[in-house]
A = this chain, B = another copy of it.
């Protein structure tokens, strides 16, 4: 079975992820596992997940995304979400995934600036 793996880039103390394809359920689950492992391995203090190229998400992917933010936080890594499009924002709120306390930003650059601020580094 063919499934994708979303690349996770390590840059200094942060992890950068850009989701640019429509992802299926297996890819989302794999991503969750990969990200948590990478946080553990690398000891990263911050994560930027860029959703600029994501037009729509379904309830399952939205749930996984909400979970991965909470899980990363639990592990001590701050997550910033960037580039959330209108339809994605609507889906998240409709599903009750409020991403409270999750900083957001317009794009990757702004997301990194937000991390610097949040982490006071």
Contacts and interface: CB of A to CB of B under 8 A. Distances in A.
Interface string A60-79: 00000000000000000000
Q: What band does the interface of chain A fall in when counting residues whose beta carbon is under 8 Å from B?
A: 20 to 34
Given A12-B109, A109-B12, A19 B7 contact: yes
Say what secondary structure dominates the interface of chain A: loop
A107 B50 CA distance: 21
Contacts of A8: 18, 20
Given A7-B7, A9-B9, 14 more contacts: A4-B4, A4-B21, A6-B7, A7-B18, A7-B19, A7-B20, A9-B16, A10-B107, A10-B108, A11-B16, A11-B108, A11-B112, A12-B109, A16-B16
